[in-house]
Amino acid sequence: MKVLPDPRPVRTQPRGECPVCNQWRALTSAGHLGRHNGMTLSGFSTGQICPGKGMPPYVAPGA
C-alpha cells in the first residue's frame, strides 16, 4: 500500500505568552511576540497595539 504524502503539511505556529497583557500570542520567525492588541485587566481589548510587540515571550519561572 502506498502512503500518500500529506497534501497540506501542518506548520506549527510557535506561540508565547505576552509579558505585558498575559495573552498567548503567535510569535514571529525571530521568536518575538507579533503585533497584537493590548488587553485591559478586565479582559477587554484596548484597541491599541500592545507594547509587548517585539518582546521575547514570557517564560514562567521553573518552566
Residues making contact with Zn ion (CB under 5 A): 18, 20-21, 50, 52
> Measured between alpha carbons, how far is 22 from 41 in angstroms, rounded to an integer?
10
Compute the least distance from the CB of residue 11 to Zn ion, in Å: 23
Compute the least distance from the CB of residue 56 to Zn ion, in Å: 12
Residue tagged 508565547 (cell numbers): 16
DSSP 9: P
Cβ proximity to Zn ion: between 3 and 43 the closer is 43
Compute the least distance from the CB of residue 6 to Zn ion, in Å: 33
Residue 40 amino acid letter = T
